Every structure is written in structure tokens, then in C-alpha cells.
Amino acid sequence: MAINLEEMPRKISELVAGYSEKVRNEINQRIDRCATEILDYLKTNTPKSSSAGQHLADSFIKTEVGSGEKRIIYISSKNKYRIVHLVELGFRHVSGKHISARPFLRPAFDTLSPKMMEDIKRIIAHGPS
């Protein structure tokens, strides 16, 4: 099929736009998958208390704000937000007793984010799969 030289720039522009849309979609899907992986990691690796009731691990939720390239995904505790930093970093109780840190947020980030970044670099360099 022959393409007229006057039509070529328009056709190239359409192909590039379609390709870049596929790249954006795949990057967004990879970011979504990483957020879900972090949420799953937190649900399985967050320390659980011996008391009955809802554990800290069960309180984490994934929230999306905005859309497209301006979309932000964050993971937070919906009802135990006041103690997350205390468990993660440790603290000294009013009685003077030291409660040691039991990190779970930082390991989730350190474990899963580098893989996501490598996948995004691969998508940008080699295109969508």
C-alpha cells in the first residue's frame, strides 16, 4: 500500500500518538500493580497484636486521587493511623519502657519499588510488551 508524501507526516504522527498512549497505559498499569503489591506486603508483614479485634495490618487501604498523569496513589491506615509510626519507628512509653521498632513500611518500599522502577525503565526503552 503506497502512502502519498503529503499524508506521511499525519500518518507518522498518528502512529507515534498511538504508541505513546500504549506506553503511558502500561506504565500506569505497572504503578497500579506495585501499589497493590505493597498493600499485600503490608497485610502479610505488618506486626499483629495478640489481642482480638482488627489488627493494624487489616486497616491499610489504597486510595487514588486524580486521574491520568496527575493521579496519585497512596496507601494509608483508615482507622489506626495514630499508631503506624509508633510501630514502624519504635518509641519510649510514658513509663520509661522502650518499645523497639518493628519496621514494615520501609521494607515494603525497599523491596518493591526498585523492581517497579526497572520495569518502567524497560517500558520506556523497549516499548510496551
Question: Domain coordinates of the chain in residue numbers?
Answer: 8-126
Distance CA 113, CA 129 (A): 20
pLDDT (tens, 9 = 90+) of the chain, 129 residues, equals: 677 888 888 889 999 999 999 999 999 999 999 999 999 999 999 988 777 667 888 899 999 999 888 899 999 999 888 989 999 999 998 999 998 999 999 999 999 999 999 999 999 999 888
pTM: 0.82
Per-residue pLDDT tens for 97-109?
998 999 999 999 9
